[in-house]
Structure 1
């Protein structure tokens, strides 16, 4: 579009006037396609483009087209912007929002989660990256089965209403590197259950109770963990020169070296043979 030309777009009950330079800043788009198609019409001036969408959301899209960085205010604002970025076929804005913070409501609170926080070893892929990748990967996947509709359907922001926002806030702090002060064994177990739900496997291993001690008989270090925290992928059988077979263990995604394993068994748990544990 001619950069010096001014184009009129009415969204809802509000008229916007944008330069060709602004409209061309994120193109090809619904706007550039429409006005280019009118170039050889009999009108001396370009016609007004009428769109029955929200002028409030469009104001932020105008700021984006004018070169300003648009930051979603909350989960609803994010969904509205993302839906209209696809509706108006704005590839740069859609990509910007796809790579922005993850906006989600946990319990009664909203969280803005930096994506880089969810890429640590063992913590990715997880509940959020998997959900957002499949939900926001393309217009067809954002609004499946809507080809031919005149507008996208209403979409609610991602939410997990049945889980604790307090526990999730503590997990976020742990992902940032802040140590968690466990109030009780029950508190630790509640956090571990949340780790498993959100698929934070690496964080789970960092939060399980364990102890490392020196075995005076073998001169090697032991690692002691609860049976319910045992992960088969962390175990291996080691044969020594004395034909003594030992099970070695390192916490997945956390430990670099394996240590001789000591399993803590509670009264209501069964003791399994080493090869049964590994096979299971």
Structure 2
């Protein structure tokens, strides 16, 4: 029976590749910086169904998914997934405690968001937040109203494109400067009127994920895979990971969202290099200065 890749998983601050086998559940393969990775895609990319409440419901039709799609779900499973979503405000009665946070990805790239308190910093790791801080905690709808208040008042978005995040990851300012930018925005947020009474304020304590992501000495990104194809191989030395991205020593970025839904195996012939479609990433000198923008 096949094991299908489910993309990157962050557990206890460490990256791993997730796998799903129908009838056998889920497992994960921990990743270590400095290790050599080599894998090839087999067969077709399949819909992974719906993950909800710690359980995966398989796709009823076993539908195929386009190689370039950012999600390994068919349209029907994606609709079902979205019908029970915090982001879509379809879970107003959720009794869990939520936290509001600030996440910093690079100079001028800060967003505000919410996550279930029980998840801890997992959401920040999944998004590739380099520096971050909690703002408050409370019921879901109070957290959502606070998120909207801060986005409007501070002019920060609730999403930043992964392409922008990865483009600056190897050229970030030092940790003190990152912390200063987050702390300044935290102070501005705390001073705003209109916070819901049911949301408890949280003092500013800036955390940093540079070590977890392996950012020290990270090579400037040069190429990013655009899709996996049957028989296509990815080969290289893993030197870092942030959000869904794997960073290789030769400047290759592997967006693990594009691995999800594939059966991956070791190359039978010991493939010498990467043979899947890739796109060039402009060098640091060619990139325009980062500016805060709205939703992408």
TM-score range, shorter chain: under 0.3
Greater length-normalized contact order (CA 8 Å, ≥ 6 residues apart): 2
Determine which structure has more spread, i.e. the larger CA radius of gyration.
Answer: 1
Structure with the bigger percentage of helix:
1
Structure with the bigger percentage of strand:
2
Q: TM-score, normalised by structure 1?
A: 0.22
